[in-house]
Amino acid sequence: MAEQRRDTGDGRGAGERGAGRPREAEAEALERAWGDLVATARRTVSDGLVVGTSGNVSVRVGDTVLVTPTGVPYDRLRPEDVCGVSLDGRRVLGSLVPTSELPMHLAVYRATDARAVVHTHAVHATAVSTLVTELPLVHYMSAALGGPVRVAPYATYGTAELAENTLRALRDRTACLLQNHGTLAHGATLDQAYDRTAQLEWMCRVWLTASSVPGLTPTLLTEDQVTRAGERLKGYGQP
């Protein structure tokens, strides 16, 4: 028996009428996400977390990863400059070349439930990455990042080795330092990834400031104290 199509009153069957909606919705979601990504990238500059085109930002929409293109100042990015790749790195949107740090971003998406990633060359965090292998527990907000923040061993930017080092440092964490390089944080949204980036930079600044006082050593928290703070942070904010 031939399948019958329900008349929708506009001369099209129900299947024809709704066929374009998922694609339209996806296109709208990608457009909104690109606008949010550009705004976040510009914020990293205005807040002093990057200089020029250093650092990069990405956001995942379904199986598409939108990412800042390489070498393009963020204040020049336009809606038509959208740059998108698949999870295996194939370019699926736009004509601009993606950031050189694409392997690191994609590694995070494949290994975690991240929906957004922010990478910066923040001054204080980068300085700390040259001094220690783990950010000392100078403040309980380490708990908001999953615990003591590790430093990923140095590797050349844009390489698979750097991506692997980053994933190890991120185990059970939402942010890490990259030795002699900068920071990486991820989250469920661009706002959350950015907030974690800013929080990490602030903690690094606090530790460097306290450590610079001659003759005094900063008091540090224990991991147990940070864990207890983390339990309280779960209920922080409005319901």
* Whether the Cβ atoms of residue 56 and residue 67 lie closer than 8 Å to each other: yes
- Side chain identity at residue 11, one-letter code: G
Q: Is 26 a catalytic residue?
A: no
* Whether the Cβ atoms of residue 132 and residue 207 lie closer than 8 Å to each other: no
* Whether the Cβ atoms of residue 192 and residue 118 lie closer than 8 Å to each other: no
How far apart are the C-alpha atoms of 173 and 193, rounded to whole Å?
12
3 state SS of 126: helix
DSSP 33: H
H or E element that contains 186: strand 182-187
- Tell me the two tokens of residue 33: 């996400």
Residue 190: φ, ψ to 5°: -65, -40
Residue for token digits 């990490």? 200
How far apart are the C-alpha atoms of 6 and 24, rounded to whole Å?
22
How far apart are the C-alpha atoms of 144 and 159, rounded to whole Å?
28
Catalytic residue among 101, 161, 164, 201: 101
Catalytic residues: 101
